[in-house]
């Protein structure tokens, strides 16, 4: 068994809709251990830096504005093959295409306001976790 970590963000649309508690429940029911968890409001430079890899994509500016439009909750999740498994649990980027019983199907509104973020590789998970958390904040 190889336990891995991934970074999750509950996005402003889901926090505003009061889905925070439901999403935490869902994650625990799916078997994730929450190693770290905090609420914060991203500044523009922070959101731009976090989504730097999408800088050239047409939706980048809108995505940054959306991510700074309200509070977010960032979490470190642990599970076997956490990155891949969380991407399954989130569902497709577009909630309309997401499978039943996925977070984005249940709580996402559209392709931008899609309730949650999850890392897309183990390397990016490490980078994204260090972006938000220092070692002292992580249960090990």
> Which residues sit at the interface with ligand IDP, rule CB under 6 A?
54, 59, 63, 93, 111-112, 114, 117, 120
Nearer to Mg ion, 28 or 110 (CB): 110
Q: Active-site residue 117, yes or no?
A: yes
Spatial contact of 117 and 9, defined as CB atoms under 8 Å apart: yes
Q: How far is CA 20 from CA 38, 54, 62, in A?
A: 11, 26, 23
**Does residue 120 bind Mg ion (CB under 5 A)?**
yes
Which listed option, ligand IDP, Mg ion, none, makes contact with residue 63 (CB within 5 to 8 Å by class)? Answer: ligand IDP
- How many residues make contact with Mg ion (CB under 5 A)? 1
* Positions in 30-89 near Mg ion (CB under 5 A): none
Binding site for Mg ion (CB under 5 A): 120
């Amino acid at each position: 068994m190889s336990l891995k970590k991934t970074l999750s963000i509950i996005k402003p649309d889901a926090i505003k809709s009061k889905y925070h508690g439901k999403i935490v429940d869902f994650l625990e029911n799916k078997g994730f251990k929450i190693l770290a968890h905090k609420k914060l409001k991203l500044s523009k430079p922070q959101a731009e830096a976090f989504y730097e890899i999408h800088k050239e994509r047409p939706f980048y500016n809108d995505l940054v504005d959306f991510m700074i439009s309200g509070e977010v909750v960032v979490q470190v999740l642990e599970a076997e093959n956490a990155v891949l498994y969380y991407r399954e649990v989130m569902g497709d980027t577009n909630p309309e295409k997401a499978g039943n019983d996925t977070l984005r199907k249940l709580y996402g509104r559209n392709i931008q306001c899609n309730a949650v973020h999850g890392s897309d590789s183990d390397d990016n998970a490490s980078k994204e976790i260090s972006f938000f958390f220092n070692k002292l904040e992580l249960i090990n």
